[in-house]
Structure 1
Amino acid sequence: MQTTLLIMAAGIGSRFGGGIKQLEPVDDSGHIIMDYSIHDALAAGFNKVVFIIRKDIEKEFREVIGDRIEAVCAQHNVTVDYAFQDLQDIPGELPEGRTKPWGTGQAVLAAKDVLTTPFIVINADDYYGREGFCAVHEYLVNGGDSCMAGFVLKNTLSDNGGVTRGICKMDAEHNLTEVVETKNIRKTADGAEADGNVLDIESLVSMNMWGLTPDFLKALEAGFAEFFEKEVPSNPLKAEYLIPTFVGQLLAEGRISVKVLRTNDTWYGMTYHEDVAAVRSSFQAMLEDGIYKADLFSDL
């Protein structure tokens, strides 16, 4: 069965070089987090890769990432395609002064013409681990429509400051009922808290790893038109069309069922500059433990 890995990489800076967290090497071989995500997705069975980028960074992206990944994928009969997120690709007029991207919902819509199979969507600069890719792939190839990888809260926190997480509420069958966006979650000696409220560190949270089908894109596109009509006029410079928010609306209206697939892997990201050293140390440990090979794609 054909399945697609959709990587939201449009947020990569327009000037490739130092200081861009998506391009920060995490091992001594120069691999970036995105390399590990692609490896884990291919190992799980995904057989197409689509990068969502901006047109203005296409040349640099291909030189630094795309051409290298295409060569790897070609060895494993995996195709690579591109979609381009454009600030002006909207169901209306661009508000004067708007420079902020429209969010993850619009990013996914930018790829609608190349998404012809069930797909998993991820952030370019987040490390998710193998378990989530395997769980989502298995769910999709067995006929599931919509799902998300649910990460254990304690496995997603930073030692260097507060983070925002979407805490999942579920029914007895692990169907998602609500995602509660919770800001400023900080580690404590006993677990975690947000603005003085103690949190259950075993809670499952959304880290923007969704398993979806092409049918979802129809609802997403209709929702974008509604967002542009209702939300943008009141906040023209900053309103964002986000997948978790839209999924929450569909859940509230009873228009979607989303299975939450627990993953026990640790999520790594570079929210703070100080996170870089810790993330590199974690990847070094995984290499030493044999979870990955130094020649990353040699075990596929």
Structure 2
Amino acid sequence: MNQKPTLLVLAAGMGSRYGGNKQIDGFGPSGETILEYSIFDAIRAGFGKVVLIVRQEILEEAKDLFLPKLEGKIEVDWVIQSLDSFVPAELKQAERKKPFGTAHAVLCAKDAINEPFAVINADDFYGKEAFDAIGKFLTTEVKSDLHAMVGYAIQNVLSENGTVSRGVCETNEKGHLIGMVERTSIAREGEKIVSKGEDEVLVITENTPVSMNFWGFHQDVFADIEKMWNEFLPANLENLKSEFYIPTVANNLIKADEAAFDILEGGKTWFGVTYTEDKPVVIDSLKKLHDAGEYPADLWK
């Protein structure tokens, strides 16, 4: 299999560039967004196309921001995620305000992708090693019943400025994902990493792998996602805040024994902006990578 994989970017949360939105805020020494580093790393890992999922109202703004930089470097396509996407008229929720979540966003790209693909968040820095690992998987190992995610040790993906939400993974002896639990209040307390739920306090070991929403899929997964989506919609018709997540898709496929998920070890470096106070840390981290020669002074020159 030598087909170049595609990078699918979840960017529907981008807002006005003047509103201080973290997905289009400048963090690099030449004002680069975090997403530009992901696209740069994907290009050098052998990806052939990037598909950005956005909302209709920010499409032109996003094109103005990214197309001049990416022209001639990688094929670019755009997909719109709306509250009406893949929703039959009889199942529309007229009062709904909240998007349907990450798996719904992936489904919106069904007609734009015909090859193995990776999925990332627009506002997370994942690191060159992660793109190398998933690029290799998507060109040599992926199958219709074998997908992957890049695992990150929990100790490396915390914030010093508050709690974070992470998909905490359970693995088997082969290193395959066998389940994932979204824990919404994780922080370091003294020497321990603790997750606090309504009824429990759970201590998580330092090297436990977690998902930072960096997935690698065979294109046949679109059929699986659409099937689950068609079950999710009528079941959640009265719940205006319900969301359809990628980990739900993964857990369902694993539970039904319809697919396995490798956990790849490329998750060496991660940072993101959960809190405003995280921004200086991200700027400093990127500067250090530039100074070390990991990235050129200006990504696109």
Note whether the superposition's TM-score is higher than 0.5: yes
Q: Secondary structure at the match of 1:295?
A: coil
Alignment partner of 1:227 is 2:232: yes
Q: 2:218 aligns with which of 192, 209, 213?
A: 213
Which residue does the alignment assign to 1:203? Answer: 208
1:103-252 to structure 2, matched below 5 A, reads: 103-145=101-143, 146-195=147-196, 196-230=201-235, 232-235=236-239, 237-252=240-255
Question: Which residue type is aligned with residue 117 of structure 2?
Answer: F
Which residue does the alignment assign to 1:88? Answer: 84
Shift of 1:264: 4.1
1:217-296 to structure 2, matched below 5 A, reads: 217-230=222-235, 232-235=236-239, 237-296=240-299
Contact 1:4-1:48 at 8 Å conserved across structures: yes
Question: Which residue type is aligned with residue 198 of structure 1?
Answer: V
For residues 47-71 of structure 1, what are the alpha-carbon distances to aligned partners after superposition, in whole Å with 9 as ceiling and x for unaligned? 1111111122111111122x22432
Alignment TM-score, normalising by the size of structure 1: 0.93
Contact 2:159-2:187 at 8 Å conserved across structures: yes
Distance 1:7 1:173 in 2: 29
For residues 5-50 of structure 1, what are the alpha-carbon distances to aligned partners after superposition, in whole Å with 9 as ceiling and x for unaligned? 111111101x221410111211220101001000111111101111
Which residue does the alignment assign to 1:4? Answer: 6
For residues 65-111 of structure 1, what are the alpha-carbon distances to aligned partners after superposition, in whole Å with 9 as ceiling and x for unaligned? 2x22432xx1x4x2111111111113332213101111111111111
Q: Secondary structure at the match of 1:249?
A: helix
Contact 1:204-1:262 at 8 Å conserved across structures: no
Shift of 1:188: 2.7
Distance 1:189 1:107 in 2: 38
Q: Secondary structure at the match of 1:144?
A: coil
Distance 2:160 2:33 in 1: 21
Contact 1:154-1:191 at 8 Å conserved across structures: no
Question: Which residue type is aligned with residue 25 of structure 1?
Answer: G
Q: Secondary structure at the match of 1:141?
A: helix
Question: Which residue type is aligned with residue 122 of structure 1?
Answer: I
For residues 246-287 of structure 1, what are the alpha-carbon distances to aligned partners after superposition, in whole Å with 9 as ceiling and x for unaligned? 211111111111111022422111110111111111111111
Contact 1:152-1:263 at 8 Å conserved across structures: no
Q: Secondary structure at the match of 1:255?
A: coil
Aligned-residue Cα RMSD (Å) equals: 1.3
Contact 2:150-2:267 at 8 Å conserved across structures: no
Shift of 1:163: 0.4
Distance 2:175 2:20 in 1: 39
For residues 139-174 of structure 1, what are the alpha-carbon distances to aligned partners after superposition, in whole Å with 9 as ceiling and x for unaligned? 111132310000111111000000011111111111
Structure 2: runs of 5 or more not aligned? none
Structure 1 residue runs of 4+, over 6 Å off?
A: none
Shift of 1:234: 4.2
Contact 2:149-2:211 at 8 Å conserved across structures: yes
Inter-CA distance 286–176: structure 2 relative to 1 (3 Å threshold): same
Report the structure, 1 or 2, having the larger strand content.
2
Distance 1:125 1:64 in 2: 15
Alignment partner of 1:68 is 2:34: no
* Identity value in percent: 37
Q: Secondary structure at the match of 1:88?
A: coil
For residues 116-146 of structure 1, what are the alpha-carbon distances to aligned partners after superposition, in whole Å with 9 as ceiling and x for unaligned? 1100010001110011111111111113231
Contact 2:29-2:298 at 8 Å conserved across structures: no
Distance 1:148 1:69 in 2: 28
Contact 1:109-1:220 at 8 Å conserved across structures: yes
Structure 1: runs of 5 or more not aligned? none
Distance 1:50 1:79 in 2: 8
Distance 1:29 1:191 in 2: 38
Q: Secondary structure at the match of 2:18?
A: coil
Distance 1:226 1:264 in 2: 33
Question: Which residue type is aligned with residue 284 of structure 1?
Answer: K
